[in-house]
Every structure is written in structure tokens, then in C-alpha cells.
Structure 1
């Protein structure tokens, strides 16, 4: 591939603000030559790729701005596949501004958000799914989000989809060819082979589509709602999990009137813990609002943790609660709090009745909380796609679902004996969505939207 060496751009690649070291990145045509005009040390234009050189950056009056370490990456062996220079200087805001000012005087312009990654994509370094994974990797704040982004960056599902898309293109071309011989009633594309190919693509698409609920939760935090009757110990449990007095704890029923939310990292997974008002018939207007908000949170929950007082909750009541939770089709966990009030025989009866759905704890002492947190992480991991390939990006999810819908119409057309022109329309639709997913079909508006979300130096 011919690598397009575009006009040189520069930006701060490290986080803004005062620090020990800052890195300025320059990419594009004459990036090495331009940097060399400001650098005093070895002649950078004569140095090999992937080498680092110590020297100084000086202005036109030969005044030293800073001592720096300059690293050279020659095209195409660089992130953007263009000539790239990285200038490591001291993290003074003044020094950074001065070096950037000198680069701008030499004809470099400031990079737009995500422009380095956009150039890498345009120069064939990786596809669009991988490019978006760069931003996800930078934003990763847990082991789970880091692992998901890294999987996508390494190719994830996009490489497999591109290979299947190529096969679909070949079939679509044969269908289009049949249109040119419409009056002669010929079939160049074997319909059974097309059906088999569509099935094979759907076998890849559908687990990815189903993984989005888990992937979205991993990326944004698993919404975990603490629900139950007043005085069950929800606020005590929240404080115990967070190891701080986040919520007010009182013996007075209905103390929690509003939704309280915080984040907790458990075994590399981010959970958004949501403490809610107790579920009961409200005694005043304010409590009624709190109960209504609790029900709204239950509708949006990824996991429901239903807490109850083990000594005061009849078995029949808990069976009714379980039946209601099962209707929501959301993973749930029944937490028997205040287990110190139960005898071993009573606790054994609870476990026999509800099995793995129930965990007994003592919220105010933290007893058995580790068993509860293990169950929470099990919920997330048990719903993940094997190999940790999960869809975390809404744009990917939408294109996958649109592709699957178009392929379903192809199968319906094959079953109904549809003519070539109808099959061709649905095949084109499937190919378009697959192409837009991986970046084989792009528009300037699409690229501008995606890369504008990146930080400036990436």
C-alpha cells in the first residue's frame, strides 16, 4: 500500500498539566527534517528508525528551550505509518508551549482530536473497529474494560467478519451477474451454498449481538440495584461494600428516600451500586417518590440484589419476591441479612429452598460478603461470550443487528423463491452494514464523528 505522507501535525501525547515528563508527537511529511532544525545533537535525518537521541531544542536565537530525548519512527514502521517523531521533554507547561510554537513556525499544524489514529486507519494500520478500540483502551478503568478493548485492538471479531464479507461479496457478484442474463433464466450462484454462507455469518453475528448487554455493562459499569423492604439493611450493606459511611443508617424505617449510587471494583469488574428506598406502601408523598424511583431503577438494572431480614421474612413472602424477580428476566441474588438471628437448621432450610440464588450475610460485620461478591462477578462472567469477545460499542451493535436483519431477509427470500433482484437488494444491505462496521465503507462524516471523541494527542 502507498502510505500517504500528509502535512505534518503535532500535539501533546501525554496528559496536560505539570509533570515530570511530557511527550510531544509529530507525524507526517518532513516530520524528521522539521524536528531536526530545532534539535541540537545528532543529525536526525541520518538516524535509523526506532532510535532515541539526546540533545537540546533551541529557538532561532540559539537559546536552549529544554534538554530532550527524541525518538524516531520512520515510515511505514510507525503508529500512523508516516514518519513520526516523539519529543520527550520536561513536563513544564511553558516548555511544552515553546516547543509547540517552534514546530508551528516550521510549518507544522496542531492535530485535531484523534487525528493520529485516523491517519493510522487511513494508511491501513488497522480497521475501524480496532481504531475505536484505541480510544476504549485509553479510557479503560478496570481489568474487564481493558481486556475487552485489547481484544478488539488485536482484531477481535472484525478480522473474521471481513473474511465472511468477502465471501458474501463473491456471491452478491454472481447474483448481480444473473440480473444481466435475466431473460435466459440462468443461476450462477448456487442457492444452497448461499444459504450455508448466510448461516455461517449468522453463527458469528448472533453471539456478538447477544454479548452487547454484557459488554455495555462492562464498559459503563454493571448497574447493581440493592432492593428490599425498609430496614432490611441495604444502606448498611452499601457502606460495608464501599468501606465508608456513604448512606445514612438508622433503625427508623424509610430512612433512605432517594437513590444513592457509587462504584465498586470487584475482581477487575466495575459495579455501579445503587441503594434504593425500601419497597413498601409509602407513608408520605416524599417516600412515595423514593419508592417510585426504586421501581424505575429495577427496570434499568443489570443485576438485582434483593436484601431481606432473615429472621422476619416468611418463606411464602420470599417465594412471591422470587416469582416477581423471575418475571423481570434480569439476574438476581437473594441476600438473607442478619444471619446471626438464624439457627443452623433454619439457614439450611433457606439454602435447600433457594439453592445458589441465596446467600446469607451479616452486613454490619461484613461476614460472608466475599461469597456475595463472588456471585456478582460470576453473573457477569457467565454471560460473557467465550474468549472474552464482547461488543461494547453501540455503533458496532447497531450495524451487527442491521446485518443480521438483512441476512434474515435473504433467507426468507431463498425460502420463498424470490427473484435475483430482491435477493440482490438484501445482500447489498448486509454488505453495506458489514463494510461500515469495519471501515471498508466510510464517509467523511462518519470518520469525523468517531475520531472527534479521541483525545488530541491520539
Structure 2
């Protein structure tokens, strides 16, 4: 792949639609487009100002392919930093392909996945973390994931990392300078100021690393495991939450033998609900595997919803004691996970029995998955568990695994620098750890990159972006 030629691709989803956009970018984009475009007013597209739109026809010799709008963006004031032309044509798949083929015959080549955004990065229009946020923005399917992607596109934590990297680079330069005057035993880098910078960098890195746990679940959907004994209504609850018949509901115990997952958005936050196999003693091999997977999903979930049968609870004090023991076992096994305890089938109970239940089991929530009573209250409870305060306060949150890994490695090197300061390590040895920390900072923003890294990142983009 070279980045000095002119590329073309469909910038809108493939298939028929009302309108499609075909994008050209490169040094000859405007010249090639001008050869294919016949303005209705006789204008020469190559002589038009940047950021202007023109009506005309795409022509192949004497044949008119379509009437289009041609939008001109001249370098460096374009998305890619190059000359860019976008043809807005009618959304026929045939027309799209005819125009693209015509562009290819006139000097363009097909763009590869993410190549427009890659060129924007290479031409300094955005840093690497912002370029990655473009893909996250396109794939965002909730208000939370959209907000995180927008925050990252506006600079996110990369601007903070750039500032710290520059300050560290300035000190590194002074320490490197000391090596040139090693025989004279002089210090150009103020060690007190350097200590303050290392302390500040350590604090920022720890904060960003800690934010990844929140950012990752907000980006990908918060996993919620619905667990309980067979026939307590787990599948009915999943169907009520999704508002569709997603899981098979039956009076026969052990109907769900594998986990069933689906996603919904509540209050702008994505939740991934997992309906699990009922937990009980069984000799059925297949059902036993499903129960084993239930415990695996509880381990992976951020929130556990324990569903119990309210009718069974009112059958005697022994049942309530047994359920309390089960609740304590789950709390002890997963002490860090929020646990929501729900008594289902309350539509079958009298008000007196409901009041008695609430008094015996603390924080018990009442619900009828069959009628929908209490489902909205459950949704509100789940939202309360989500730490969205950081989003509302526009606090920086890390969502990218590559960034997280680089931050961990940078923090490790900063710890080595701190140890060097504490033990009065010589400048030449300290400089090695500083260089490594600078390397990992640069990996995040793209100030240090290689073809393999860029290839891996942009391969996940759609063609046309």
C-alpha cells in the first residue's frame, strides 16, 4: 500500500438506498473527478473553491451515468488532509459500481479498510487514539458508548498523555545532557522538579488504568447474569426485559440447558443479559454442563440477579432459611459484585404474604415477570449500579485494550524511574527507563508506530472510512 496515489471507495453502506456517497482522496482526486463530472452550469470542477458543492452529471464519454452533487475539499482542509471529492449519487447498487469502476479506469485505486482515516493520521489531522475512536464511534450502539467515543475523538486522554510525555522528554533531554558532562559531575535536571513530575505522571497513569474497568463495560455492554433454581422464571424475566420471546418458557424444570444472551439499552447504557441454566442437583449430563456454565457466567458478570420463587418462599420458614444461606454463599463467593435479590411471581401472592416476605429478607425486590410488574424498578436498580458519574463529569475514561496495555507498561517503567530516584541511580541508567516510558506514551498517540501496528488497527475499519 502506498499513500501517494488517489483512492476511491463507497463511504455509505453497500446496497440500495436513497443516496450513496463515493469518496475520492489523494493528490489527483480533484483532477480525476473533474474529468468525470459535467457541471450543469459549465463550471470546471478543478477551478472551484474548497468546501463547495456543485450539481452536475457523471459521464463516461457521451453516456450519462447519473446526476450527482460533487463536494470539493482542498488540502490540507479535508478529513484526510489531501484533496478530497465526494460524489452524492442515487443509491442504486448499479450506479454506485458504475461510478467506482469509472474512477478506477481514470487513475484511482480501491481504498483499503480504514485507509481514509489512516491518511488522516499520517497527515497529522488526528493522533492514533483519535483515529481508533472513529471506529468506536461508528460501532457505538448506546448513549454511553457514543459519548466515550466522542470524548476520545475530541482528544480524550491523548492530549493529557502528550503533555506529560513532552514534560518527561524535556527532563530526559537534560539527563542525557548530563551524560556529556559526566566527568564534571554536574546536574542540569532539577531532581526536586523531576520527582514532582514522576509523582504526577504516576497519579495520572493509575487513574487512567483504573478507568478501564468502567470504560470497557460501558463500551461493550454491562453483563448481567440472571441465576436461580429451575422454574423460578429466569427465562420469563429475560423475555420481559427484552420485550420479546427470546427464551423458551416451560413448566418443565431444566428447560434452559445453555446460557442465552441478548442486549438492550437502558437509560443510554448497554446491558447484556445472560439467562442461565437453573442451579440444582442433577444426574443429566447436558443439564450439568449448563449449570457449570452458569457459575462461569456469574464469574464474568458485573451484576448478578438472583431470582427466587415468591410462592415457594411463603410455603414455610425452612425455605426462607435455605434461601438466606444461598444468598450468603453467593455474596461470599462474589463479594465485589452487586447482587440483586428478586422474588418473582408476586402476582400470585396476597398483600399480607408480600409484606411478610419483605420483612424477612433484607433488600428483597418484588417482581412479576409474567405481568411486567416491577420490571421498570429492576431496570432503575441496574442503572444505579453503573458508575456513570465519570461520564456526566466528562472525566477521561480508557476503553481501548491497546491503550490499557501501553499505560500498564508505561507505569511499570515510571516505577523503575522512581526507584532510580530513591536509590540515587546514575543518570545513564535512569535514562534507559525514561526512554522506555516515553516509548509507551508515544505508542498511544502514534508518535511511535510501525506498519504492523497500523495494519492491525486499521484492518478493523470499514472500507470507505
Settle same-fold status: TM greater than 0.5: yes
User: Does the C-alpha gap of structure 1 residues 316 and 411 become closer, same or farther in structure 2, counting only changes over 3 Å?
Assistant: farther
Report if the CA contact (8 A) 2:157-2:396 is conserved.
Answer: yes
Alpha carbons 1:133, 1:149 under 8 Å: kept: yes
Q: Within 1, Cα distance between the matches of 2:192 and 2:357?
A: 59
Q: Which residue of 1 aligns with 2:330?
A: 324
Q: Which moved more, 1:247-256 or 1:85-94?
A: 247-256
Q: Aligned match of 1:394 in 401, 405, 423?
A: 401
Q: Structure 1-normalised TM-score?
A: 0.93
Q: Which position in structure 1 is the counterpart of 2:111?
A: 111
Residue aligning to 1:57? 58
- The counterpart of 1:372, out of the listed 358, 375, 378, is 378
Q: Corresponding residue for 1:217?
A: 217
Alpha-carbon distance between aligned partners in 2 of 1:310 and 1:80, rounded to the nearest angstrom: 61
Quote the residue 2:14 is aligned against: 16
**CA–CA separation in structure 1 for the residues paired with 2:396 and 2:328:** 32
Partner of 2:434: 427
- Paired positions, count: 450
Contact 2:228 2:234 in 1 (8 A): yes
How far apart, CA to CA, are the structure 1 residues paired with 2:339 and 2:176? 51
C-alpha distance 423-326 of structure 1, shift in aligned 2 (>3 A): farther
Aligned position for 1:194: 194
Q: Distance in 2 between matches of 1:388 and 1:374?
A: 23
Change (3 A) 1:185 1:316: farther
CA deviations over 1:66-103 (Å, ceiling 9, x no partner)? 11110111111110111110001111222222212221
Displacement of 1:427 in angstroms is: 1.1
The gaps in structure 1 that reach 5 residues or longer are none
Q: Distance in 1 between matches of 2:328 and 2:378?
A: 17
Task: Point out the more displaced range, 374-383 or 10-19.
Answer: 374-383
Using the size of structure 2 for normalisation, the TM-score is 0.91
Tell me, yes or no, if the aligned pair for 2:145 and 2:219 is still in contact at 8 Å.
yes
Provide the C-alpha distance between the structure 1 equivalents of 2:209 and 2:340, rounded to a whole number of angstroms: 25
Using the TM superposition, give the Cα deviation of residue 246 of structure 1 relative to its aligned residue in structure 2, in angstroms: 2.0
- Contact in 2 for aligned 1:214/1:383 (Cα 8 Å): no
Measure the CA separation in 2 of the matches of 1:74 and 1:92: 28
Looking at structure 2, the residues matched to 413 and 280 of structure 1 have their Cα atoms a distance apart, in angstroms, of 57
CA contact (8 A) 1:230 1:278 kept: yes
Q: 1:105 to 1:246 in 2, by over 3 A?
A: closer
1:93-132 deviations in whole A, cap 9, x for unaligned? 2222221222122211111111111111111111000001
Aligned-pair distance for 1:423?
1.7
Q: Secondary structure of the equivalent of 2:70? A: strand
Q: Please give the alpha-carbon distance, in whole angstroms, between the structure 2 residues aligned to 1:194 and 1:53.
A: 57
SS where residue 9 of structure 2 aligns?
Answer: strand
Counterpart Cα distance in 1 of 2:326 and 2:389: 26
Q: CA deviation at 1:185?
A: 2.8
Deviation at 1:338, TM superposition (A): 3.0
